[in-house]
Amino acid sequence: MQDQLKQAPVDKYVINPLKSFISNSVMGGVVLLVATIIAVALANSPWSDWFLGLWKNRISLHFNDTVFLDYDLHHWINDGLISIFFFVLGLELKREMVDGQLSGFKNAILPIIVGISGMIFPALIFYLFNGGDSEALSGWGIPMACDIAFVLGILYLLGDKIPVSVKIFFTAFGIVDDIGAVLIIALVYTNEISYISLIVGLIFFVLLIIANKFGVRSTHFYGVVGILGVWLPFLLSGVHATIAAVLVAFTIPATTKISETGFLKKIKKYSTNLDEIESLDGPTLTNDQLHIIGKMKSMTKHAMPPLQRLEHGLHPVVSFVVMPIFALANAGVVFNVNFEDLFSNNIFSGIVTGLVVGKFLGIFGVTFILLKLKLVKLPKKMTVNHLFGISILSGIGFTMCLFITTLAYSNDEQVTQAKIGIFVASIIAGILGYVLLSRNASREKQTAKE
């Protein structure tokens, strides 16, 4: 029994169940969905005024009579808290480019084509609906983005019915989709720019790149310089601060300080040394034991790339803190709009059609043509039916679509029309995609038995 970890009551009843909950890939999507339902319910309840007014409370930073930052809570969430999500997104993008699905031309070509076409078609459809309305047209970027977390959540709910290659393929072109959304936010949905603040932010960004090249691996250094030197100047510049988060993520080192072989040799050596040291009779350790365990801890840290260490550590924060709060602040739509108001312009229709039809045409249509021309091949164990299903599922455009909505429109009626469109499209795409993939899996299982 001494060779096993001791299970205290807090481990058994609190920590272990919590770890199991957090490590479940589906739970992040479930928590996000619950937060969305709560936001919608409160927005349409007797507490609506309190709930919607909560996000208008202002938080300011000032020294004596000089005010440095003065924004409402909604702004702090959409420029500050959500930057953590974009930072983790940037870490994922860099990892995929360094050693993942986007690391080589052969690996990247199909996901890049699919990701781009999956954004162009929804935007074109939105333009067809709203081309004659200049105010409504500013939301053309809304239906371009899909929600990776929700789609992966549904794919994981289907379990072994869906080959791993399908999930990997979706993740690859979903990442391209995210890159496109980040570029659109940077290039299109940016206010008047303060070039002095922007230059200051870029100088510190270059400093982080130089620090990376010189071998600086302290995540605290990148955190302090990234927030104060890059994120804050970008916030003050008018360029959306979330772009700073992505840029900082790309400066985080992605290499280890020691090879896997070297690490194993060192750990074996330390283990042998630890075994040879005489221990105390009680539960405490000797100074020599503490010294060796400290070396083992340091060596373990050197064996992990800072990029992956941060990505792994921040994922639960994003899934269970950042995104639920973002949903609470942005998904509260008051459904007191009548059909005449909903269809007073084509924002709602453009978003629903763009997400459900546009994503399908851009992903399935373009890939199917490329397959027929024998220019590309699908990953192993992935069929055209799988492609059909995930093309529909990609119409789930929640997090990024809601975020772009807050940048595209300032009129409350237009924001409501857009958010309802996002909800409706996501529900249609989610249910339809799940049913199609599930039925396809059942047919394939039945065919295999026969």
The conformation of residue 63, written as its DSSP 8-state character, comes to E
What pLDDT was estimated at residue 26?
64
| Region of residue 215 (left: phi > 0; alpha: psi -120 to 50; beta: else) | left
Contacts of residue 148, defined as CB under 8 A and 6 or more positions apart, other chains included, come to 170, 171, 174, 175, 177, 178
* Spatial separation of the C-alpha atoms in residues 180 and 353, rounded to whole Å: 20
The conformation of residue 363, written as its DSSP 8-state character, comes to I
Chain-centroid distance of CA 240 in Å reads 17
H or E element that contains 309: helix 306-317
Write out the two tokens for 159.
Answer: 């379990």
Q: Are strands 66-72 and 58-63 parallel, antiparallel or unpaired?
A: antiparallel
Q: CA nearest 366: which of 383, 393, 391?
A: 391
The vertex-321 CA angle with 320 and 322, nearest 5°, equals 115
Q: CA nearest 407: which of 141, 90, 87, 66?
A: 141
Residue 382's SS3 state is coil
Q: CA nearest 433: which of 405, 397, 380?
A: 397
What pLDDT was estimated at residue 47?
92
Please, what's the largest Cα pairwise distance for the chain? 83
Contacts of residue 201, defined as CB under 8 A and 6 or more positions apart, other chains included, come to 229, 230, 231, 232, 233, 234, 237, 239, 244
Distances in whole angstroms, Cα of residue 145 to Cα of each of 149, 184, 254, 311, 323 = 12, 10, 27, 22, 16
Q: CA nearest 359: which of 417, 419, 430, 420?
A: 430
- Contact (Cβ atoms closer than 8 angstroms) between residue 38 and residue 45: no
> pTM for the complete prediction?
0.77
The conformation of residue 14, written as its DSSP 8-state character, comes to I
Residue 12's SS3 state is helix
H or E element that contains 181: helix 164-187
Contacts of residue 38, defined as CB under 8 A and 6 or more positions apart, other chains included, come to 328
Query: Which parts of the chain sit beneath pLDDT 70?
Result: 1-6, 8, 10-26, 67, 100-105, 107, 191, 280-281, 444-450
* Spatial separation of the C-alpha atoms in residues 294 and 292, rounded to whole Å: 5
- Contact (Cβ atoms closer than 8 angstroms) between residue 363 and residue 118: yes
* Spatial separation of the C-alpha atoms in residues 255 and 224, rounded to whole Å: 21
* Spatial separation of the C-alpha atoms in residues 268 and 283, rounded to whole Å: 23
H or E element that contains 23: helix 16-23
Alpha-helical segments (H) within 44-81: 48-54, 73-76
Q: CA nearest 23: which of 247, 364, 319?
A: 319
What pLDDT was estimated at residue 1?
43
What pLDDT was estimated at residue 24?
58
What pLDDT was estimated at residue 5?
65
The conformation of residue 357, written as its DSSP 8-state character, comes to I
